[in-house]
Amino acid sequence: MTGRALFLDRDGTLIEHIPYLADPKNVKLLPGVRSALIHALDAGFALYLHTNQSGVARGYFTLEDAEACNRRMFELLALPVGFKGVKIAIEGPDVTNGYRKPSPRYINECIARDALDPRLCFMIGDNQSDIEAGHNARITPLALLEGAGAKESPGWLDFLDRHRIPAFSSFPEAVDHALRACEIRF
């Protein structure tokens, strides 16, 4: 049961995608997210949040604003077990040696620190950078096709096809897939 984890994008995956979200009042959970995460926790998965927030580097809002939005999301989720890790990548797109996805740095650090089993770890997101981060960390990426991020990436479907990345129309379907994949593997 141990060593399982879901790495989760925030905007367009767990909550509604609002470009450069900075006001906690605008945080809205996407349908089915809360119950899917409860199922994952029940199945022994640890949860990690990995969100790119280049708005901090761009000076559009502060790290504290991003943290306040996270807090509001956690409040709305009201999960019985909290997230095991949270990374807000504040770098702009020009920085490649930080935590900004598609860098696998955060995922790799969590795998090492928390003794996760990469075969039982998944990255769920609606943007090519999420999927590439999971791919680069050699865990299983699961793509959400309906998020705003997917619609902004022109080469997205080709990339998914080329790397045979499973794709889903909703977050609960992706989580179900992760749960079933772990049951089959172990």
Burial grade of 36 (CB within 10 A; 0-12, 13-18, 19 or more):
buried
Burial grade of 110 (CB within 10 A; 0-12, 13-18, 19 or more):
buried
Q: Which stretch binds Mg ion (CB under 5 A): 2-10, 29-37, 41-49, 106-114?
A: 2-10
Under 8 Å between Cβ of 66 and 24: no
Residue closer to Mg ion (CB basis): 44 or 166: 166
Tell me: does residue 126 bind Mg ion (CB under 5 A): yes
Among 53, 70, 103, 127, binds Mg ion (CB under 5 A): 127
Among 12, 55, 104, 172, binds Mg ion (CB under 5 A): 12
How far apart, in whole angstroms, are the C-alpha atoms of residue 17 and residue 149?
8
The pattern of x and - marking residues 146 through 185 that bind Mg ion according to CB under 5 A reads ---x------------------------------------
Q: Which helix (H) or strand (E) holds 141?
A: strand 140-144
176 is annotated as an active-site residue: no
Query: What amino acid positions are annotated as catalytic residues?
Result: 9, 11
